[in-house]
Structure 1
Amino acid sequence: MTRLSVEMLAADAPEPITSAGHAQLGIAVLAGIAVIVLLITKFKLHAFLSLTIGSLALGAIAGAPLDKVLLSFSTGLGTTVAGVGVLIALGAILGKMLADSGGADQIVDTILAKAGGRSMPWAMVLIASVIGLPLFFEVGIVLLIPVVLMVAKRGNYSLMRIGIPALAGLSVMHGLVPPHPGPLVAIDAVGADLGVTLALGVLVAIPTVIIAGPVFSKYAARWVDVPAPERMIPQRASEDLEKRPGFGATLFTVLLPVILMLAKALVDIVVDDPENPVQRVFDVIGAPMIALLASVLVGIFTLLRPAGFSKERMSPLVEKSLAPIAGILLIVGAGGGFKQTLIDTGVGRMVLDISKDWSIPALLLAWLIAVAIRLATGSATVATVSAAGLVAPLAADMSTTHAALLVLAIGAGSLFFSHVNDAGFWMVKEYFGLSVGQNIKTWSVMETIISVVAGGIVLLLSLVI
């Protein structure tokens, strides 16, 4: 961004709800983030409550009237949930359908039947990337780790050689590829194009997952050589089903939202006429909500019916899929409230004013901010929504592709070095039966590789597109 464009953005920005100077605002931001970190890590308070209290602390220290702080927070919460809440719910339903119908097992078994030996780590990356596309990270771990353990034991493979590629596939999808909540929130905050972000996210994800998965797993297996823990190997979830959906139908259902959203992006580029009937049709069917809704409806016939689900079993399945996402929705919504509080107190304008004389690229700044919040809070989602709120003003003068790259830079930074304040850290440790030190040498290093490699690719792409 040029200095002139930054100054124009600052001039056009809405008046903040406080007259605090940069120093006071800077202290307020640090204090607000510190409150969130302290409440999450020290007092083990839920992230929703921590973000809410942190937003109030930010506004109070910035000298803003409390009623306006409350309005900013509630507005941001409502806007964020309205923007991504339905998408998160539809994604949860699709993930539940995939798991309960046996479709996930069908994909796993089909790929594993054709893989073996040196190709097995690559098969695990493919499985995790495909299955993880519509699933939340924690759900993906619960679904895939038992498969990893069974493959490692049945084939006498090193657990890390099989497990790291699967974890890399899940993590990369979670941080870089919509319709996951983090990227969706960042897209909404930055005002990026979802189709372009999805296409570039896949482009960045492929080399990233190869390096952090199959390549790094060779070294991880040497550093930590442990067998699959017997106590963690469960029975297959779908053994009670009479039959399972076919591989092709399951794969089509999982990839349908991606196909529709990429088709919309392609038509927008080729046609480039908002009034054109073809583009208008694809703008509708490629909208995230319609794309995910279509996949859920198709899944009734391609996943549930072949598995023998009656009409009476479908409604309880949807209810069970929605219950676990209540916490995620609240965290994402509170993150949106925190973001709006940052904007309304003038922090966005402060970032513009301070960064206009810096030589640091906006994408690198976004990555560094996300890294700092990730290290402090342990939550990739909190890091994403907070960083997106801080750097969103920088996207106003960016091209469509660079705005999408800004989202990916934030997503890459949000994955940096998972450690003891991250729930995912403990899930992986317990499932794999590792010590804290072993988990840091494998899982934590893998997350750092993903963050650095993806961030580097994003910066390189910004120079050529």
Structure 2
Amino acid sequence: MNSIFAISLATAAIVSVIILIARFRINPFIVLFSVSILLALVAGMPADRVVGSFEAGAGHVLGHVGTVIALGTMLGKMLAESGGADRIVLTISTLSGRRHVDWAMMLIGLLVGLPVFFEVGFVLLIPLAFVLADRTQTPLLRVALPMGAALSITHALIPPHPAALLALSAYHADIGKTILLGIAIGTPIAVIAGPVFGRFASARVIPEGVNPLAKQFVNSKPPGNLPGFGITVFTVLSPVILMLAGSMADRVAAPHTTFNNILHFVGNTDIALLLATVLSFYVLGHARGFSRETVLRFTNECLGPTALIMLLVGAGGGFGHVLVDSGVSRSITDTALGAHVPLLVLAWMLAAIVRVACGSSTVAMATASGIVAPILARSTGVSAELMVLVTGAGSVAFGPMNDAGFWQLKEYLGLTVPQTLKTWSVLETLIAVCGLVFCMIASIFVH
């Protein structure tokens, strides 16, 4: 496929999605599905493969994210109804002060985001963001954007995230050095894209209408008898602890032993969230005086508002899969490879292009590192650890509409498509550009 045609086709598809949703107010799922089909047909994909490609992409994303959203929403509902969210918010606002709650959420996002995927950390922390914003009378975006920035940065830059580990292996980088450089470079980026940009954006972008998710997570008045801070935090962090244990399984137990298998099993994202949710039924439900019928009602009613989120997340995955299967993604990537640019810039650029083409930062990082690694092996004077970080930075660029996180954030925060582009897409691009700049500066001193 001609590269100019591929770039034009991808651009036309993205612009069409924006116009149809924002200007003509057509249902986003219908728009994503229709544009994906038309793009595939125009790109020359056989008609009998088009729908299957979209379904495969949607199913692949929903197979993981759908379960995460459902379990995370239930856990968040129990946290809200029991007063656990109020207890955490009260402690955070007391320690940080009302003027610095955005900084507190950034730090929490960095800690929680270390061992978990972005989607998991988001559904775990978004109830806290809702309650914290309500109780401190702070704009929701000022609290939620720093949290999202921190989760995105840890997801892209710092092992043990799977994509970072794949890049680490491809570039033969040292994991300890990568983590230290990732923290050193990622922390100032989190400050710039988090509290600094969050304050700027929240003063200019105001969500419209009533947010049904905010209504279900924020009680009009906090319960009088709040649960303890320690047990509440333990319940929220229990999936993080389990996932961290799973990632360290091979270091603490011989592979394929019973203990190793158990650690891998409970450290699985879905299993860890399931165990945490069941734990919340007792700790934040039964132990707080709620009957089984009441807990069942909570878990049933909280899933309603997430239906559209799941559909849009799946549709975004289908859109990305069609871009890959139709050959559009490959043509754009080949064009980037033909450009003669510094290796750090090439890795960043390839990751950013694949990110726009398929939506997934994990796929973008894995693909770009796989392409650039053989070139790095024949080069000298370039730090393998910085190559991991700059590839990760490029993998979150632009926050495109074929990324599940775009629609997840849009729906949870009650934003329109243009508002999401002005906030989340700009934030993700800020992370990517700052990551490239900081890695280029660091390359002067690190070899």
Q: Normalising to structure 1: TM-score of the pair?
A: 0.67
Closer, same or farther: CA 384–211 of 1 in aligned 2, 3 Å: farther
Distance in 2 (alpha carbons) for counterparts of 1:120 and 1:80:
32
Q: Which amino acid aligns with 1:281?
A: I
Deviation for aligned residue 1:314: 0.9
**3-state SS of 1:97 partner:** helix
Aligned to 2:131: 143
Deviation for aligned residue 1:62: 0.9
Quick check: 1:347–1:390 contact (8 Å CA) kept in 2? Answer: no
Quick check: 1:338–1:386 contact (8 Å CA) kept in 2? Answer: no
Aligned to 1:99: 80
Mean alpha-carbon deviation: is it higher for 166-175 or for 321-330? 166-175
Aligned to 1:362: 347
Deviation for aligned residue 1:89: 1.3
Aligned to 1:259: 241
Deviation for aligned residue 1:73: 0.9
Deviation for aligned residue 1:65: 2.3
Q: Which amino acid aligns with 2:75?
A: L
Aligned to 2:377: none
Closer, same or farther: CA 201–144 of 1 in aligned 2, 3 Å: farther
Distance in 1 (alpha carbons) for counterparts of 2:257 and 2:188:
36
Distance in 1 (alpha carbons) for counterparts of 2:48 and 2:359:
23
Runs of 5+ consecutive residues of structure 1 not aligned to the other structure: 1-19, 153-158, 181-185, 226-231, 374-382, 417-421, 430-435
Deviation for aligned residue 1:45: 2.1
Deviation for aligned residue 1:455: 5.6
Quick check: 1:32–1:54 contact (8 Å CA) kept in 2? Answer: yes
Aligned to 1:208: 189
Distance in 2 (alpha carbons) for counterparts of 1:32 and 1:356:
23
Aligned to 1:7: none
Distance in 2 (alpha carbons) for counterparts of 1:459 and 1:96:
44
Closer, same or farther: CA 424–410 of 1 in aligned 2, 3 Å: farther
Distance in 1 (alpha carbons) for counterparts of 2:425 and 2:29:
25
Count of residue correspondences: 393
Closer, same or farther: CA 396–248 of 1 in aligned 2, 3 Å: same
**3-state SS of 1:283 partner:** helix
Distance in 2 (alpha carbons) for counterparts of 1:459 and 1:266:
32
Closer, same or farther: CA 266–207 of 1 in aligned 2, 3 Å: farther
1:171 aligns with 2:152: no
Closer, same or farther: CA 258–208 of 1 in aligned 2, 3 Å: farther
Distance in 1 (alpha carbons) for counterparts of 2:226 and 2:82:
7
Distance in 1 (alpha carbons) for counterparts of 2:438 and 2:239:
25
Closer, same or farther: CA 265–444 of 1 in aligned 2, 3 Å: closer
Q: How does 1:248-397 map to 2 (within 5 A)?
A: 248-268=230-250, 270=251, 274-358=255-339, 359=341, 360-367=345-352, 385=359, 393-396=367-370
Aligned to 2:221: 239
Q: Normalising to structure 2: TM-score of the pair?
A: 0.69
Deviation for aligned residue 1:170: 2.6
Deviation for aligned residue 1:460: 7.7
Deviation for aligned residue 1:86: 1.0
Quick check: 2:369–2:391 contact (8 Å CA) kept in 1? Answer: yes
Q: Identity percentage over the alignment?
A: 31
Deviation for aligned residue 1:443: 9.7
Deviation for aligned residue 1:337: 1.1
Closer, same or farther: CA 24–461 of 1 in aligned 2, 3 Å: same
Deviation for aligned residue 1:247: 0.6
Runs of 5+ consecutive residues of structure 2 not aligned to the other structure: 113-119, 169-174, 205-210, 374-383, 402-408
1:33 aligns with 2:14: yes
Deviation for aligned residue 1:335: 1.4
**3-state SS of 2:307 partner:** helix
Deviation for aligned residue 1:276: 4.1
Q: Determine which of 68, 88, 93 is the counterpart of 2:69.
A: 88
Aligned to 2:396: 411
Quick check: 1:164–1:214 contact (8 Å CA) kept in 2? Answer: no
CA-atom RMSD, angstroms? Answer: 4.9
Deviation for aligned residue 1:21: 4.2
Could you report, residue by residue, the CA deviation over 1:56-80 in whole angstroms, capped at 9, with x for unpaired residues? 1111211222221111111221222
Deviation for aligned residue 1:287: 0.9
